[in-house]
Amino acid sequence: IAGQGIANPIGQIWSAAMMLEFMGHQAAADAIVAAIERVLLRPDLLTPDMGGKATTEALGKAIAAEI
């Protein structure tokens, strides 16, 4: 899937939230997880692995915008 723009970036983004939590930045970690949860409610932003048609970039940008 490299270079196709169809990879799901949530795992990578969520791992950043876990790192922030480990470092004691709970509010930042919570903000990231909440943003992921809100974006997942939008079918138009799901990547192909979740049954949608959104790109990696679109999903990542949507999560960033929610934060």
Domain presence at residue 44: yes
21 found inside a domain: no
Residue 57 lies in a domain: yes
10 assigned to some structural domain: no
Number of domains in the chain: 1
Q: Is residue 34 part of a domain?
A: yes
Residue 1: pLDDT over 90 = no
Structural domain span for residue 46:
26-66
Cα dihedral 5/7/8/10 (nearest 10): -90
Q: CA angle, corner 37, sides to 32 and 42, nearest 5?
A: 125
pTM value is: 0.91
pLDDT in tens, 14-63: 999 999 999 999 999 999 999 999 999 999 999 999 999 999 999 999 99
